[in-house]
Amino acid sequence: MRQGTGHGRRGAPRGGRPPGVRPTERATAPPRGPRSPARGAHRFTAYAAAVHGAAVCGTALLLAAGAAPASAAPSASDERDVQLVYCLADAHRDDLVAAAVALGLLVPGSTAGQDSVQPVRPAGSVGPSGAAGSVGPSASAGAVGSGGRMTLRQWAGRRTDDFTRACAALMAAAADSGGPAAQGSGAEDGWFETFLKGLPALAAGALLTLGGQFSERVSSERRLSRQRLRTDEAAFRGAARTYLTAYESDPEADHAVVLSTREALAGTLFRIPGPAARRRAAALAVERLPLAGPLPASREGVVLGSEGRAREAREAGEAVDLVLRTVSDLDRGVAHWALRTVVEWRAGRTAPGAAV
């Protein structure tokens, strides 16, 4: 018995299947077999390789960052500024060129003059180490001089790595040898200690300078005094001889020239410097100088004749020679008069009646 639909049409029973249609067989997946061990091992190997590759890349980045030269500072860094100021100073240019030549960065014969620096290899070339711009003492001979000549400042700007390397080596050598680069701010902080250490040398130099000036002044004064003494002595001797010769023939001969030269010689003797013995000898010579006045024309009311005047002139001449001989002795050295001063002082202490 067929069941009808609510609309009067014939069809499949509610909740059933159309007539004549066989139920379809349900597709079933084949049963899973046991998991293959090789497949798990492959997945683990791939994961491990990925982890290892990441670690290798990270290590390579760290090594690359650490392998960068410490001295290759940026152009605006403080270290770069220090290198430019120090190594490009006039006092260090020749040393910088010598260091660059020794490191194989510049062609031998390069100097710090204008357009006299020649790099070993042009910029961007590959050196023996395989890095661009890397050069060294082992650079091939064919590359020598291929960089073109330039100034030292141009080389520092165009070859930053080469300049940094040479300048760092120069500053390190200066630090090892105790040069200006090694002192740094410590030398500025210890300027007072340096001044104190150099103070004895400065004092010794000042004393030597003052001693030299004093010795020169004393020598000059002694030389002038000796020259003045000789001049006055010769003038008095000549005036005395002229007067005595004229007196023998004329008792009224002019005595004014003798008097003026005698006074000049006496003034020079009073200004004689030196030890006490020398000054005493000079004062004694002044007291003994003859011809303080004109020779007499008569003796005891008797007019002197030619023979009498000749005798007077001869005695006065002998007195002049004796005193002037003493004046000449005053020209001896200081050592002689210093020793004579000591001898006279000791003789005065041992003399009878001397104060003890």
CA–CA distance, 236 with 230 (Å, rounded to integer): 10
Considering the domain architecture, whether residues 178 and 231 belong to the same structural domain is answered as no
Q: What is the pLDDT of residue 352?
A: 64
Q: What is the pLDDT of residue 37?
A: 43
Q: At 126, list the tokens.
A: 């590959």
Structure tokens at 275: 């030890």
Residue keyed to tokens 């005047």: 309
pTM (two decimals): 0.43
SS3 202: helix
Are residues 245 and 339 both part of a single domain? yes
What are the φ/ψ torsions at residue 17 (nearest 5 degrees)? -120, 160
Looking at residue 351, what is its pLDDT? Answer: 61
User: 4 lies in a domain?
Assistant: no
Q: Residue 168: which H helix or E strand, with range? A: helix 160-176
Query: Quick one: pLDDT at residue 164?
Result: 92
Q: Indicate whether 342 and 291 sit together in one domain.
A: yes
In a domain, 243, yes or no: yes
Question: Do the domain assignments include residue 12?
Answer: no
Of 138, 167, 184, the last residue of a domain is 184
Each residue's pLDDT, cut to its tens digit, for the chain (356 residues) gives 444 444 444 444 454 555 554 554 444 444 454 444 444 444 544 444 454 455 444 444 444 444 444 444 444 568 888 888 999 888 888 899 999 899 989 888 888 777 788 888 655 444 444 444 444 444 433 344 445 788 888 888 889 999 999 999 989 988 876 555 444 445 455 788 888 888 899 899 999 999 888 888 878 888 888 899 999 999 999 999 999 999 999 999 999 999 999 999 999 999 988 788 989 999 999 999 999 999 999 988 888 999 999 999 999 999 999 999 999 888 887 788 888 888 888 887 776 655 54
**Does any domain span residue 301?**
yes
- pLDDT number for residue 176: 75
* Residue 246 falls in which region: left (phi positive, over 0), alpha (psi -120 to 50) or beta: alpha
Does residue 335 lie within any of the structural domains? yes
User: Are 229 and 344 in a shared domain?
Assistant: yes
* 260 within domain boundaries: yes
- 345 and 238, same structural domain? yes
Tell me, yes or no, whether 69 lies in a domain. no
How many domains is the chain partitioned into structurally? 2
Distance CA(162)–CA(302), nearest Å, equals 117
User: Could you tell me if 178 and 234 lie in one domain?
Assistant: no
Last-in-domain residue among 125, 160, 184: 184
Q: Which of 328, 241, 243 is nearest to 293 (CA)?
A: 243
Tokens 């040398």 sit on residue? 201
Helix or strand (DSSP H, E) at 56? helix 37-67
- Are residues 246 and 162 part of one domain? no
What SS3 state is found at 321?
helix
Last residue of a domain, one of 184, 212, 231: 184
132: helix, strand or coil = strand
Say if residue 238 is in the same domain as residue 336.
yes
Is residue 207 assigned to a domain? no
142 & 250 share domain: no
**Do residues 175 and 225 both lie within one domain?**
no
pLDDT at position 147, please?
56
Which contiguous run of DSSP H or E holds residue 303? strand 302-303
**153 and 237 in a common domain:** no
| Domain range for 259 | 221-350
289 shares its domain with 241: yes
